Amino acid sequence: MKVVIDTGVLLSAIFFGGYAQKIIEAVQQGRIAAYVTREIAEEYDAAIAAMEARTGGRIRKKLAVPFTARLHIVEPKVTTPLCLEAADDKFIACALAANAVYVIGEDKDVTFIGSRRSVKIINAEGVCQLLTLCA
């Protein structure tokens, strides 16, 4: 299964665990193929560094480092707006470039412009249920 993981889901996995952590572990195990653009990878790095600074260095490096090593980098092919909120565009463009069906995130209110409905937004719990990772 090809997916794009929203930055918030990655941070939740690294700092809090739960369903998000199961997703990251599935990427590490090769059960899920996670795709990023360079822009998303940079956003991951910056967000992790900011959270690490705020928490005094408490981070689950056993999750973050192997996860980032398993990411597949793609170049976005779409440069026009895809969503009403510009912050969502990079994740949808990445999914389109990777031919991924899912963006794993908590924002279910993504409003697409045009016919981009081939990309679905799903939360971490939904992916766990889909892949029977919740056990």
Residue 135 domain flag: no
pLDDT of res. 76: 85
| Structural domains in the chain (count) | 1
Looking only at the bridges linking them, the beta strands covering 72-73 and 2-5 are unpaired
CATH classification at residue 69 = 3.40.50.1010
CB-CB neighbours of 80 under 10 Å: 8
Instruction: Say whether pLDDT at 51 is over 90.
Output: no
pLDDT of res. 80: 60
**Angle 119-46-94 from CA coordinates, rounded to 5°:** 20
Confidence of residue 113 (pLDDT cuts 50, 70, 90): very low
Range of the domain at 71: 2-130
Residue 39 domain flag: yes
pLDDT in tens, 20-44: 999 999 999 999 999 999 999 999 9
pLDDT in tens, 76-86: 886 665 555 65
Residue 99 domain flag: yes
In the numeric block, which tokens belong to residue 23?
A: 């997703």
